[in-house]
């Protein structure tokens, strides 16, 4: 919601007027000096939307404020060009409405378009989030990263490295939405107040690493050539792509990292395939390159890659993982029931490379249990399990 600065207004006053944490108001107006507001300037107030209201007989600003619980000055602020002493029946004014319910509805076929539309809605209501493009897919789709918070601890989550594991994207998006609601409404999640985490943690989320692949699984072969003919050929003419893990070029993005890539490559398919082809060399695909460059720029303290399925968490690589990885994964197990597995005969993954490169904690979290793609009937259960892991990453330093 946007308001227009009056004489004497300040961001601190808006924080009090709308009962929104001051740091969120400041960060919703990046590039504006909080100490140098000027009359007529537009300011974002997070966690609110302006809704129309039609004046009824007997209405005054004071009566509307009393009836709705809205601060009287908030009505004046949103209706600067309305004369309160000359209201007319049928006249339209604006009321500030606090957003208290989620924008994201995750339990549905959640393709790239759904994600991008939800991200725009979230950005409109919560302008303190940072939405940055980190790269583009093979087909040119923007790959967004969302950041929340200003702390020194840098925690990263990602989802949908594998196309048929797309349920990880709405899980992350719904989790993000719940966090934003808790921040702006000063309400806890599972008994924990969220405000300190905004100050202590910089949260990074890439909800969909593989947008072309996700759309392929959910929507079928794209109309664009040469991609349509290519994926149909690789899939042996089948129009059901539910077994597809790769990107649109048939490369498994989680087999693309220079962490014993050669060892993985010799035992995997040697040509594009729906699953497991690691490419002709490490980091050939724009999606995997974008994720590697992001990690290098952000200098994350730890990363979590959401996959499906198995209800397990892989947390080691060649003995290079630091001691705190075990402490973290045991806490994840406590809050989710997901079993820690230190080593597995698999290499060249994103978390493998992260551990190898920085000697910091990296985790592959296998959400849910069953046959991929997991059915949406599991969504709520997976969400509750993963929420504990998300919260543990905020409070563990």
Residue 264 located in a structural domain: no
pTM over 0.95: yes
Distance CA 30, CA 102 (A): 25
Of 319, 322, 333, 323, the residue nearest 388 (C-alpha):
333
Considering its fold, how many domains does the chain have in total? 2
Q: Please, which pLDDT band fits residue 397 given cuts at 50, 70 and 90?
A: confident
Residue 83 located in a structural domain: yes
- pLDDT tens digits, one per residue of 260-287: 999 999 999 999 999 999 999 999 999 9
Distance CA 285, CA 289 (A): 6
**Shared domain check, 178 and 148:** yes
**Shared domain check, 66 and 37:** yes
Residue 295 located in a structural domain: yes
**Shared domain check, 33 and 118:** no
> Quick check: is 366 catalytic?
yes
Please state, for a pLDDT cut of 70, what percent of the chain lies above it: 100
Residue 288 located in a structural domain: yes
Among residues 285, 321, 366, 385, the one annotated as catalytic is 366
CA distances in angstroms from 18 to 25, 49, 72, 224, listed in the order given: 10, 12, 11, 48
- pLDDT tens digits, one per residue of 58-101: 999 999 999 999 999 999 999 999 999 999 999 999 999 999 99
Indicate the residue among 68, 98, 128 that finishes a domain: 98
Residue 88 located in a structural domain: yes
Place of tokens 């959640």: 110
- Say if CB 366 and CB 308 are below 8 A apart: yes
Residue 226 located in a structural domain: no
- Say if CB 368 and CB 374 are below 8 A apart: yes
- Joined together, the tokens standing for residue 367 give 């959400």
121, containing H or E segment: helix 112-125
- pLDDT tens digits, one per residue of 16-52: 999 999 999 999 999 999 999 999 999 999 999 999 9
Which residue segment(s) compose the domain that 43 sits in? 2-98
Residue 261 located in a structural domain: no
**Shared domain check, 91 and 47:** yes
**Shared domain check, 208 and 122:** yes
């Amino acid at each position: 919601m946007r308001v227009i600065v009056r004489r004497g207004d300040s961001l601190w006053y808006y924080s009090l007027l709308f009962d929104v944490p001051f740091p969120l108001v400041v960060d919703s107006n990046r590039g504006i000096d909080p100490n140098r507001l000027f009359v007529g300037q537009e300011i974002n107030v997070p966690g609110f939307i302006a809704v129309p209201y039609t004046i009824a007989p007997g209405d005054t600003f004071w009566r509307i404020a009393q009836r709705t619980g809205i601060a009287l000055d908030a009505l004046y602020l949103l209706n600067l060009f309305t004369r309160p002493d000359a209201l007319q029946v049928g006249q339209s004014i604006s009321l500030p409405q606090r957003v208290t319910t989620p924008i994201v509805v995750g339990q549905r076929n959640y393709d790239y378009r759904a994600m991008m539309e939800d991200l725009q809605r979230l950005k409109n209501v919560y302008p303190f989030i940072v939405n940055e493009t980190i790269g583009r897919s093979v087909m040119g789709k923007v790959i967004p990263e969302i950041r929340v918070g200003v702390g020194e601890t840098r925690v990263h989550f990602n989802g949908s490295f594998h196309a048929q594991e797309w349920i990880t994207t709405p899980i992350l998006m719904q989790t993000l939405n719940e966090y934003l609601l808790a921040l702006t409404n000063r309400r806890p999640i599972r008994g924990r107040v969220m405000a300190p985490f905004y100050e202590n943690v910089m949260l990074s989320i890439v909800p969909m690493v593989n947008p072309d692949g996700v759309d392929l699984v959910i929507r079928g072969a794209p109309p664009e050539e040469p991609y349509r003919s290519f994926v149909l050929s690789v899939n042996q003419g089948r129009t059901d792509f539910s077994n597809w893990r790769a990107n649109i070029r048939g490369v498994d993005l989680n087999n693309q990292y220079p962490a014993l890539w050669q060892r993985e490559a010799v035992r995997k398919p040697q040509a594009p395939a729906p699953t497991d082809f690691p490419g002709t060399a490490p980091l050939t695909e724009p999606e995997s390159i974008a994720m590697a460059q992001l990690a290098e720029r952000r200098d994350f303290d730890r990363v979590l890659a959401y996959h499906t399925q198995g209800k397990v968490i892989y947390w080691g690589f060649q003995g290079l993982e630091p001691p705190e990885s075990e402490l973290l994964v045991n806490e994840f197990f406590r809050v989710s029931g997901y079993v820690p597995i230190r080593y597995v005969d698999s290499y060249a993954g994103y978390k493998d490379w992260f551990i190898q490169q920085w000697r910091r904690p990296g985790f592959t979290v296998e959400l849910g249990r069953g046959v991929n793609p997991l059915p949406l009937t599991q969504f709520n259960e997976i969400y509750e399990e993963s929420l504990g892991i998300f919260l543990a990453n905020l409070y563990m330093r």
